[in-house]
Chain A
Amino acid sequence: MTNIRKRVVITGMGVLSSIGRNVPEFKQGLLDKKVGIKPSEIYSEYFAGAYASEIKGEVDYPGLDPDLITKLDKGALWGYRVGREALEDGGLLDSDLKKKMGLMVGVSAAGTEAYLPFIMNKPEETNLDMVKYSGSYASICPLVASLLKLGGGYELVATACTASPNAIGLAFDAIQNNKGDVMMALGSEPLYIPTFAGFYALKAMADGPCTPYSNQPGMSIGEGAGAVIVEEYEHAKARGAKIYGELLGYATSSDAYHETAPDPKAVGSSWAMRTAIENAGLKPEDIDYVNAHGTGTDANDRSETLAIKKLFGEGTTPPISSTKSYFGHNIGSAGILELIACLVTLPEKKILPTLNFGVARTYADIDYVPNDFREKDVNVFLKNNYAFGGNNSCLVVSTKPGTIKQTEFNPQRVVITGIGSVSSMGTSNSEFASGFTDGGAIPVPREMKVELESEEAKQLPLDENKMLHYRSHMVKPFNARKILRSIDAKKLNNISLYALVALEQALKSADYKVVKTAREEIGMIMGISKGPTNTISRLCESLAPDPNNVRTSEFAMSLMNSIATQCAIAKGIKGYNTTLSSGVNAGFGAVFQGYEVIRQNLQDYMLAGAADEDGPGLAPLMSFGNEGFSYDDTDNSYHVYAKDDKGYVMGEGAACVFLESHDNAIERGAHIYAEIMGYGRCCDHIYFSQNSTPQTMADAINMALTEANLSAQDIDMVCGTTWAGKYATNMELNGIKLALGDHSQSAPLTNYNGYFGFVEASGGLLNLAGVIHGFKDNIVYPILNTTEFSVAGLNYVTANALEIDIKYALVTGMSEGGNCYALIIKKGA
C-alpha cells in the first residue's frame, strides 16, 4: 500500500526581530537592507566591543493582562506575541481549529530568565512568580498553548541552533500521520548572558555586524521570535487561507564528530541537504537557491561552503546567501526567522543578499549574492541550519504551492526490537526485570542543609541541625567500561552516560551494530526534562562576578541537545537526530517522533530514549509550591495514586527503545518485543489553573485508539505513569476512566514508578520497558505500597503480580505542563 504524502503549506506568519516587529515591518526591513546588529548596551557592560541584534524597549502584548506579563519570561511572551500574529494572519485567532492545533516549539536557552538573579548573584532581584510560571525549561510550551488556547499537544525541540526548523519538521510529520490539519511551529529566543558569554569567550563573535563568507570571520548574536502556521493544503484551500509557501520535505542528521566544531569534511551537513531533497522527491538540480546557516564564523562558513559544493558539484552551485547579516544569529529561533525572511521576499522574485560583504575569504568561492538583491524567480529553495554537537537540519520549501509533484511512501508498521534502561534497579535488562520480581529498588537516604528563612522553609520537616532528610532512587555506581567498552565514558557527564548505557543495551538486545558503511541508516531522538543539571550549574557558577570567565568547556555540554549528540558521537550514529526537551515524560515524545520517522520510511532504524541525572541538590527545594515531593524518610514512602498522597520519591536514569519497520525486523530475523499501534497527544491549555481536565487525557487515548484502529475493549492492560499530586493523578486516572468507559473497571491498571522512583523525562519509557518485560510471561506487576486509591472504579493491580493474556497495552502519561500522552502497543510474536 502506498500513501501519497500530503501537501503541507504555510498559512500564517508572525515575527519579532530587531529589523521589524511584525511581518510587514520585517519584510520592509529586509527590502531596505536594514542591519539590526548594533553595539549592545546591556552586554557592553561585561564584554568589550559587544554587538548584538536586540529587541530594544517595550514590547506590547495585545490581549494579555498587564499583571500576568510581569510573571512570565520573555521567551513565553515573545512566543505568545508571534504565535498570536501568525494566528491572526492565518485568520485563526478565534477559530475552533485551535482546539486541536498542535504546537511545536524550538528554543535553545529556555527557562533561563527566572534564574538570572541567582546566576548573576543578585538573589534580591528574584521574581518568584516568574520562577513558578517560567521556571522550567519547557514552560514556554504550556504557557503559549494556554495563552493562545491551543489544545493539540506540544513538543519542545531543543537542538540549539536548529531547533525551530526542526520544530517545523515535527509539525510536517504530525500532519502526515493525521495528528492534525493545522499546527503551529514557533521559535522564541531572547538573548541571555550565558549564551552571550559562551560565544564571546569562545572568540566566535565578530567585532561588528557579521560579514558571512567575507572579511574577518565571526558571528553576531541576535534575539527574536518567529511563528508559522503549518497546514494541510486541501484544508487550507477549503477554508480559503492565504498560502505563503509549501514545505516539501526536510531532514535532520548528526555529524557524530565533535561537541562544538562542525565536521570539516561536511559529511553530515551535506547528507542532511541530500536527504531533505530526496525526501521531497527532488534532485539537487531542482534547487534554485539556498538560504544558508551562514553564521560568519570560519568553521561554519567553510564547512557549509564545502557541503554545498559536495552536494551540487563545483561550478554548479545555486546562489546561496546568509540572512544572518541582517539580524544576527537568533540561535533557537534563527531558522524560522530566516524561513519567513525567504517567504516574504522570494515571491517578489528577489533573492536576499548577504549584507556587509567585503573581500571574500580564501575558501569562499561560490555565489553568495553579495550586498544586492538578486532578481530571480525561485521556486524551490533550501533552508539550512546547524548546531553545536553536530545537529544538522534542512528544510525544502517551494514558493509556488502545488507545483511540485507529491511524493509517495509505504507506511511501515513500526516495531520495538530492542530495549535498555538505567535506573536504581540496575544497568542491564536482566537487573531491571528482576527488580520487578524483587519488589523494586530501595530509595537511598539523602539529606541537605536548609538555611532559608522563608515561610515555606518553616513548613519543612527539618531536624535540630536544620537538615532535611528525604529519599531518592539513585543509580548505583557501576563499571561503565564493562558495558561501553570501546567508548570513553570518563569524559561523559552522568546524564549522557546513563543515556549511552541504555542505548548500548537497546542496540545489543536488538542485535544491531552501528557500522561504518551504514552510519546514516540509523538515527536517534532523546527526550529530556531538566537535562545535564550538574554541568548547567557549573557553567552558571562561572558567570558571576565576571562572565568573561565563563567555563567554555561546559558551554556546549550544558545544552539539552548534548546528550543525543554525545551518544551520536560515541556510537557514530549519523542519521536523523533530535532532542525533545518537553519536560516530564519527554521520552514519549521521543518514541512518537521515532515512530513517525520509521512509519514514513525515512530511516531504517531509530533509537528513542530519555535520560535524567540527579541534580546538584536543590531539587527538593525547587519543589516548593508544587504538590508532590515526599519528605518521608522510609523505604516505602512512595504511594502512587494513593488516597493519602505522600508525594513522590525522585529517581534518575535513562531508557531507550530500538525501532524499525516490521518488514525489516522480519527480514533480519530480529526479535519483536512489541509493535507500536498508535499514539495520541493533547494538552489542556490551562496552565494557570491546577484543576485537572481529564477529558484531555481521554482525548489523547482516543486519538491513539483511532490510529490503532482499536476500541477500548481491546485494551488488555493499562500502565499509567504520573508521579503524584491531585492534578496529575486526577488527570490520568479520570482520563483513563473517561476514555475506556466501563472497560476501565476490568482492564488491569498499574504504574511502575514505585519501583524506580519518579524519573522525570525517562519515567514513561521506564514504565514502557516494564510493560514489555512483563509481556514475556504475560505478567502485570503490581503498584507498590499503595493500598487505598484516590480514584475509585478502576482495576488497580496491587500486592501480587497478575498473570493474564496480554495482546494490547495502553501506556499513558503527562507532563508537568499538562501535555497528555497515550501509546498503544501490541505484544510481539
Chain B
Amino acid sequence: MNGLLALHKQHAKELTSVNGIEVPKQYNDLDKEYTALRHNVALSDYSHYSKLKIEGEEAFDVLDLAVAGDVAEIRDEQTLYTVLLDLDGSIITDVYVMNDDDSYVVLSEHLDDATLMNLFKDRMGEFEDVEMTSLTQSHAIVAMEGPYSWELAQEIYGMDVIGIPFLGFIALDDDTYIFRAGKHGEFSYKVILPVADAEALWKEIEEKGVRYELVKAGLALHELTRLENPYFSPTGSGSVSRDPRELQLQWMVRYDKDEFLGRERLLEKRDEALSKKIIGVVLQQEGEIEAICVGDSVVCGGEEIGKLVACRYSPSLKKMIAQALIDEAYAYAGIDAYAIKTTDGVEFKVNTTATPFINNHSMLINPNENSFVNPDKFRNMLEQLEAKQAEA
C-alpha cells in the first residue's frame, strides 16, 4: 500500500474503489467539502482516473481515429476534452487528451485501465510506430480545486501556474504534470505525478492550504457538483442517453473530421429528427424536497413531456435542480410553464434553464488581481468593483 492511501485510511471518513483503485469517497461532512470547493480550496485524490501514455510517430494517428474530437486542435501543453464513441455513434466515455510535445496522455475516470487500453489497442491495428504505457498504477492524481486553488498551486509551483489556461497544463518533467481542468466550474489543478511522490505533495498542500481554509474532500461530493455544472455522467444523464445530440454534447464531436470510430452512424443520426433532449430545470420554490426523484414526470398542462434523469438540492441556489429528458418540441430554456409531477401526483412548478445551473464563484476571481491571503488585495472582482465605486 502506498503512503497516500495509508494516509487516507487513517483520516478519510470513507473510501471507495473505482476502476480497481481505492480513493477517498468522503473526508469530511459533505457540506463542509462543498463550501470549500465552491468558496475556498478542496484537496482530493483522483488517482482512480485511468491514465494512458501514447507515444511514437503515429500516436497522433491512433488518437485521431479513436476520439470524436479533433486532436489536431491541441498543441503542446494543451488538452482536448472529448469523447470516445462506439460504432453506433454513442458515447462510451469522456476523455482528456493531453498533448505533451506530440506524445499524448489520455485520462478517463469512467473506464478501468484495461478497458481503456483495449479500446485504443483495437484502433492501433494498422499502425506500427506507437507505444502505449499505462500510468494508472504508477501515477497518482492529487487535485487542488476551488476559487483560490490557483493561489495555493502558485505557492507550490511558482508564478507560471497562473498562466495555465483552462485545459492547459505544464509538464514539470517527463513524469509530472500540472493540469488545469475540472468538472465543476471552479479553478482546478490536477497534479499527475509518480505515486511515490504523492504522499509528500498531499502533506505539503495540506500544510500550505491551512491559510486558505482548505478542506479534504472525496468523490461523493461530485455527484452534486456535477449536476450543478453538468458534465458527461454515465450514472446521471448518461444512464438514459448516450446520444451527443440528446445530451447537448455535440461540441465534444467533430462532424467535419475525416475518420473516427462511430463517425458513420453519428453523421446518419445527425440528419434524423431529434425526438428528445436533456435540459435543465429548477424548482420555482426554495428548499430541499425529498419527494422529488429521478424518474418523476415533467408535465405541461397535465400532459407528460419528459422525465427527470438526475436531481439534487443545490446549496448554492437553495433550490432543487434537475436534468430532464424532454420532448424536443418542449426542450427549451427560459420556460416557466412546466412542472415536476412526483409519484404521489404532487406537482412542483419549475423553470427550464440554461446549464450550468449556478454562477461559479471562480468566475468572480481574477488570479492576477485577487487574493485570499494577501490583505492588500481584494478577494474577488466584485469587492474590487464595489470599492472602486465607493471611492468614486
Which of A's residues lie within 8 Å of B, judged by CB?
Answer: 263-265, 298, 302, 306, 362-363, 479, 481, 484-490, 515-516, 569-570, 572
Contacts and interface: CB of A to CB of B under 8 A. Distances in A.
Contacts of B64: 485
B265 interface: no
Interface in B59-88: 60-61, 64, 70-73, 75-76
B75 A570 contact: yes
The 10 tightest CB contacts between A and B, nearest first, are A264-B163, A516-B101, A486-B60, A488-B72, A265-B163, A488-B73, A265-B160, A362-B369, A486-B72, A485-B60
15 contacts: A265-B160, A265-B163, A298-B368, A302-B368, A362-B368, A479-B258, A485-B60, A486-B71, A486-B99, A486-B102, A487-B72, A488-B73, A516-B101, A570-B75, A572-B75
B101 A488 contact: no
B221 to A, nearest CB: 30
B162 A485 contact: no
Nearest to A571: B75
Contact of A569 (B70, B75, B368): B75
B258 A481 contact: yes
Nearest to A516: B101
B358 interface: no
What bracket does the count of chain B residues touching chain A fall in? 20 to 34
A264 B64 CA distance: 29
Given A486-B102, A488-B73, 15 more contacts: A264-B162, A264-B163, A265-B160, A298-B368, A362-B368, A363-B368, A485-B60, A485-B61, A485-B72, A486-B60, A515-B101, A516-B76, A516-B101, A570-B75, A572-B75
A827 to B, nearest CB: 32
A298 B159 CA distance: 16
Nearest to B102: A486
Contacts of A298: 368
Contacts of A263: 163
Nearest to B377: A362
Contacts of B256: 490
A298 B72 CA distance: 31
A490 B254 CA distance: 12
Nearest to A261: B165
A488 B76 contact: no
Nearest to A309: B159
Given A516-B101, A572-B76, A488 B70 contact: yes
A263 B60 CA distance: 25
A516 B172 CA distance: 12
B72 A481 contact: yes
Contacts of A306: 159
B82 to A, nearest CB: 14
B328 to A, nearest CB: 30
Contacts of A363: 368
Q: Which of B99, B101, B369 has the most CB of A within 10 A?
A: B101
Contacts of B171: 516
A515 B75 CA distance: 12
Contacts of A302: 368
A515 B71 CA distance: 18
Nearest to A361: B369
Nearest to B388: A216
A265 B165 CA distance: 11
A263 B377 CA distance: 24
A152 B71 CA distance: 49
Interface string B89-103: 000000000010110
The B interface, classified by DSSP as helix, strand, loop or mixed, is mixed
A154 B60 CA distance: 44
A570 B258 CA distance: 20
Interface string B37-59: 00000000000000000000000
A306 B159 CA distance: 9
A519 to B, nearest CB: 9
Contacts of B163: 263-265
Given A306-B159, A516-B101, A489 B72 contact: yes
A522 to B, nearest CB: 14
Nearest to B371: A362
Contacts of B101: 515-516
A487 B64 CA distance: 12
Contacts of B258: 479, 481
Interface string B358-392: 00000000001100000001000000000000000
A559 to B, nearest CB: 21
Nearest to B171: A516
Contacts of A570: 75
Contacts of B102: 486
Contacts of A264: 162-163
A570 B377 CA distance: 38
A264 B71 CA distance: 24
A491 to B, nearest CB: 8
A152 B60 CA distance: 49
Nearest to A480: B72
Contacts of A516: 76, 101, 171
A554 B374 CA distance: 40
A265 B76 CA distance: 14
Contacts of A481: 72, 258
Contacts of B368: 298, 302, 362-363
Contacts of B377: 362
A493 B169 CA distance: 28
A496 to B, nearest CB: 15
Contacts of A487: 72
Contacts of A515: 101
A489 B159 CA distance: 32
Nearest to B259: A481
A363 B366 CA distance: 12
A515 B76 CA distance: 10
Contacts of B73: 488
A362 B101 CA distance: 34
Nearest to A491: B73
A205 B157 CA distance: 34
Interface in B231-263: 256, 258
A489 B64 CA distance: 14
A45 B70 CA distance: 45
Contacts of A479: 258
A630 B256 CA distance: 39
A196 B388 CA distance: 29
B217 to A, nearest CB: 29
B162 to A, nearest CB: 7
A261 to B, nearest CB: 10
A516 B76 CA distance: 8
A488 B71 CA distance: 8
B174 to A, nearest CB: 11
A526 to B, nearest CB: 19
A251 B346 CA distance: 74
Contacts of B75: 569-570, 572
A265 B73 CA distance: 21
A363 to B, nearest CB: 6
A516 B171 CA distance: 11
Contacts of B99: 486
A30 to B, nearest CB: 32
Nearest to B159: A306
B1 to A, nearest CB: 35
A481 B259 CA distance: 11
Nearest to B60: A486
Contacts of A572: 75-76
Interface in B121-158: none
B383 to A, nearest CB: 13
B369 to A, nearest CB: 5
A267 B73 CA distance: 22
Nearest to A487: B72
Contacts of A362: 368-369, 377
Q: Which of A485, A489, A515 has the most CB of B within 10 A?
A: A485
B248 to A, nearest CB: 23
Nearest to B100: A516
A570 to B, nearest CB: 7
A570 B61 CA distance: 17
